[in-house]
Structure 1
């Protein structure tokens, strides 16, 4: 994790996920079948090719379940690394009961975040060399936004705004409420003179209005490739442009080659399949 992720918040999240699994009780299967003094080695192993994200989160889960002096952890890779099927991501030595109790929560978080990183890398690779940047959106799982956006960075993508207060995005409903693109931009700029503003438009004409109103970043919503090219031509470098809405991986390069600066991809976080990772127990 990096400095953008609140570690205290992550610690609280980890504790909550463990409590959800134990529900105030114990792991009845593990308690019944495993001697309390048994020690094992567990390997976190990739079952598919992908990009890893969330190893420190996995470590936090393991250390939360185990006593600090009863567990040893060795990393085989680091977040952001590309791995192949069979790669050992982490090796853990500790009490068998604790390893098995922590297994599912560890994998839930690690597999999900690695899935986000892996999908992001596919998009980044698809537009490589075009100059366009892949960005995420706020279409994240509730309470997991900072971790999912961290995973996007592990995959080589960039983050859009984190929330509603760190940047303004004037969307179609704001435009309707304010009475037009230019008026919406004027009102936001007047209220928050220092904040970054992006204006969403669904036509080339509104893109021109937005840039002539002073917008420096324009989101081109649900435009096909010919319209994106036209918008790039008409804006003529006076603002940065972001394609968004209905984008698919197989058309990513074609969209990037229109000359837009960014592709905003909600699927990075709301539709990423997990990266298959297993915890394999071995004798100590």
Structure 2
């Protein structure tokens, strides 16, 4: 779970950066419109989508012009149908047009992530597995994307390198063994989750003996995953990783592993198709 204050600060900074890159030293096209003209607008989705990103849209308009008012017809996590009204807005026409692209960029990108996650999670809803995101996020947008993952019914892995241990092959080699790496992790930060990546049954045994909280089964066969589930019997949580695609997702979930981590939840983003229409109010 992303701490609320961390997410809020990230949102403010990320929106500000998105506005700087779009507006620069001023929206010269918006200057064609009389400064005192007030308009109304509406945003619809052109396709079915799981909505995510309301707070980012609100932050865009707040930073551009706090006089703009928004009226929402959906909440984050809602499923929207083609041509459905998502929200309407009213305020200075210049401000509505200046904020338009940045607001839609945030909403369509985050809704795209949420929609992808919903499709994955629905396929394994009959199992007890949790689908996890990874650190394979768009640079600078990690917290926003990880928030959107939760709107789509999936879950967050560690946020970054600071909140949990994930001991991989190179860490093990540098520490000398799995046992040494896990022991050092417990010494450095008692209570922090310690996960170990394993590539075979021998490494699985070492991770269990060392007291790992979570054991990643990297590129294990289905047969070996089932054996690992039987072997651990609750002694540690198991996470499947590597080789996850449309064909392997459900069979892997049905092995009984606790988690499946999928980089595609955030790194292969297809934005939702949204549209804004403006009308003059006065």
Place the TM-score, normalised by the shorter chain, in its bin. Answer: over 0.9
Q: Residues 13-162 of structure 1: matches in 2 within 5 Å?
A: 13-24=14-25, 26-32=26-32, 34-66=33-65, 68=66, 70-162=67-159
**Structure 1 residues 73 and 56: CA distance shift in structure 2, 3 A:** same
Which consecutive aligned stretches of 4+ in structure 1 deviate over 3 angstroms post-superposition?
none
2:232 counterpart of 1:235? yes
1:224 Cα offset (Å): 2.8
Given that 2:10 and 2:143 are in contact with CA atoms closer than 8 Å, whether structure 1 keeps it comes out as no
1:4 Cα offset (Å): 5.6
**Structure 1 residues 157 and 5: CA distance shift in structure 2, 3 A:** farther
Could you say which residue in structure 2 is the equivalent of 1:8? 9
| CA distance in 2: counterparts of 1:98 and 1:192, whole angstroms | 48
1:2 Cα offset (Å): 8.0
Listed as ranges, the gaps of 5+ residues in structure 2 are none
For normalisation by structure 2, the TM-score amounts to: 0.94
1:233 Cα offset (Å): 2.3
Given that 2:68 and 2:96 are in contact with CA atoms closer than 8 Å, whether structure 1 keeps it comes out as no
Given that 1:126 and 1:249 are in contact with CA atoms closer than 8 Å, whether structure 2 keeps it comes out as no
What is the DSSP-based 3-state SS (H/G/I as helix, E as strand, rest coil) of the residue aligned with 2:211?
A: coil
1:192 Cα offset (Å): 2.3
**Structure 1 residues 91 and 8: CA distance shift in structure 2, 3 A:** same
| CA distance in 2: counterparts of 1:62 and 1:152, whole angstroms | 24
| CA distance in 1: counterparts of 2:80 and 2:172, whole angstroms | 45
Could you say which residue in structure 2 is the equivalent of 1:203? 200
Select 1:180's aligned residue among 177, 180, 185.
Answer: 177
**Structure 1 residues 127 and 117: CA distance shift in structure 2, 3 A:** same
| CA distance in 2: counterparts of 1:172 and 1:185, whole angstroms | 13
Aligned-residue Cα RMSD (Å) equals: 1.7
1:60 Cα offset (Å): 1.2
Listed as ranges, the gaps of 5+ residues in structure 1 are none
2:262 counterpart of 1:261? no
| CA distance in 1: counterparts of 2:167 and 2:135, whole angstroms | 14
| CA distance in 2: counterparts of 1:227 and 1:283, whole angstroms | 64
Given that 1:207 and 1:235 are in contact with CA atoms closer than 8 Å, whether structure 2 keeps it comes out as no
Could you say which residue in structure 2 is the equivalent of 1:248? 245
What is the DSSP-based 3-state SS (H/G/I as helix, E as strand, rest coil) of the residue aligned with 2:159?
A: coil
| CA distance in 1: counterparts of 2:5 and 2:50, whole angstroms | 20
